[in-house]
Amino acid sequence: MLYLGCPMWGLKTWAGNFFPAGSKQRDFLSLYSRRLNTVEGNTTFYALPDIATLERWRDETPPGFKFCLKFPQIISHRKRLKNCEAETGEFLDRLERLARADRCGPAFLQLPPTFSAAHLRSLIAYLASLPRDFRYVVEPRHADFFDGSEHETQFDELLRRHNLARCIFDTTALFSLPKDRSEDVAVAQDKKPRFPARHTRTGAFAFVRFVGPPEVTANHAWLEAWAARVADWLAAGDDVFFFLHNPDDTRSPEMARLLHALVSAHYAVPALPAWDASSALAPKQASLFD
């Protein structure tokens, strides 16, 4: 299955193009989930949703839609994977509730930029403690894991042993732009990591985060290369989760549609639902969601 998504499910700037003109914020999740079939759940990095919120997410999305929730920052950044059993238990409870409703995608552990090879022992112990009931993704953000050294090899082998995916975070297109291109580009370049693109697969599924230029057409060459790789993974029977980012994310849905078209040229994937900006709240479901 090809899962395409954005870093969030609602921007006001999507009304009138990705969403119907005049759409209300309370309807954004329902609209989004009937146009794309996954989303990065970055909100859980800051705070866990209560049960009522999870039930609302379930009710507003179609079966098979996947929330890819990020591990809370208290686990990854504040406690740095140590002495966080209670917090991890709460997070796993949220995953279980989504899984029962067929809404749980891979859970996403983003390591702090200061989490180096010197801290691998903490990661080894933490990953060993996680139940295998869910799929997990780990995103490194330290140079030790991008230098081709034994440290990177150890990191990748650790993920392979547990059948976890290494998050493939590709910012090369973003950093191909001059920093003075625009304020949005400069801010994005300041916030995003700049490391060589990796295509390393360590798990039974792929998880890609791509950050590109603001203009959709400027992403064509970059996404064409990705489309061929994604098609190969799909042909091998693997699920692919692919998230599209740009500096302010206004055009991220259009980037997702471009990638879908490019993948379709290599491998038969179900059609996307129509994105008619004048359409009703729930456009006709396509088999992308089946």
Give the pLDDT confidence of 130-162 residue by residue, as tens digits. Answer: 999 999 999 999 999 998 899 999 999 999 999
Are the C-beta atoms of residues 208 and 256 closer than 8 Å to each other?
no
Closest CA to 137 of 159, 104, 115: 159
Place of tokens 């929330």: 67
pLDDT band at residue 287, thresholds of 50, 70 and 90?
very low
Residue 279 has pLDDT above 80, yes or no: no
Q: Which residues pair with 83 in a beta bridge?
A: none
Domain 2-289: which CATH number of 3.40.1440.10, 3.40.47.10, 3.40.50.300, 3.20.20.410: 3.20.20.410
Q: What is the pLDDT of residue 288?
A: 53
pLDDT band at residue 276, thresholds of 50, 70 and 90?
low
**Each residue of 41-82: pLDDT tens digit?**
999 999 999 999 999 999 999 999 999 999 999 999 999 999
**What is the chain's mean pLDDT, rounded?**
92
3-state secondary structure of 160: helix
Provide mean pLDDT across the span 247-275. Answer: 93
Q: In the chain, pLDDT over 70 holds for what percent of residues?
A: 95
Residue 282 has pLDDT above 60, yes or no: no
* Backbone φ and ψ of 45, nearest 5°: -65, -30
3-state secondary structure of 97: helix
Provide mean pLDDT across the span 222-232. Answer: 97
User: What is the Cα–Cα distance from 219 to 68, expressed in whole angstroms?
Assistant: 24
Highest mean pLDDT among 15-19, 124-128, 272-276: 124-128
Distances (CA, A) of 281 to 3, 39, 124, 284: 21, 18, 45, 10
**Each residue of 176-195: pLDDT tens digit?**
888 777 888 888 888 888 88
Residue 245 has pLDDT above 90, yes or no: yes
For the chain, the structural domain boundaries read: 2-289
The type of residue at 71 is F
Task: Report angle CA 134, 137, 143 to the nearest 5 degrees.
Answer: 160
For 36, the token pair is 């794309």
Is the entire prediction scored with pTM above 0.85? yes
